[in-house]
Structure 1
């Protein structure tokens, strides 16, 4: 069972998700608290970052849309490439329906 909670670190709210008795701290929240969205979007332009995210998600996310991700990966690293976290999630992650 996945549990989500929030912690306050130096007046910034950081999400923590517990899954299988392991805590996962949101690096996105941590970076956003420090520098805003600029560094996150800059980090997502890097081809190595995009490839890493694709491998991670293909292993850990049964709802990962690998076909759509391939198109994104092919553009990553180009000067004209830019993607937000919201756009990446919308394009590559399917919601899993639970009955």
Structure 2
């Protein structure tokens, strides 16, 4: 698989994961526990919208809107989406049963 195709696939996997209501709740609770500057009202808005079929959210939107610090999203040649350890483990557990076990 070409690096471009692998990168595109990763973007879609992360994108689908972050749209899940359980993921939004997990991220919000983790931020509330670890980030005194987290914008709880904006999080609550995302949580309400996450049950709708029309809900869209990217890691960058999450960070910019809520002031989240658990995920870093960088564009460019050496960019990518990086997450705090607990978030990374939650993500890996959701996409791989073998990892979870």
Task: Give SS of 1:86's match.
Answer: helix
Q: Structure 2: 5+ residue runs without aligned partners?
A: 70-101
Q: Structure 1: 5+ residue runs without aligned partners?
A: 1-11, 13-31
TM-score by length of 1: 0.58
TM-score by length of 2: 0.57
Task: Give SS of 2:43's match.
Answer: helix
Q: Name whichever structure is richer in helix by fraction.
A: 2
Give the aligned CA root-mean-square deviation in angstroms. Answer: 2.3
Greater Rg over alpha carbons, structure: 1
**Deviating 4+ runs (over 2 angstroms):** 32-36
Aligned with 1:87 (options 48, 51, 61):
61
What is the CA distance between 1:77 and its match in structure 2? 2.7
User: How many pairs are equivalent?
Assistant: 65
Q: Name whichever structure is richer in strand by fraction.
A: 1
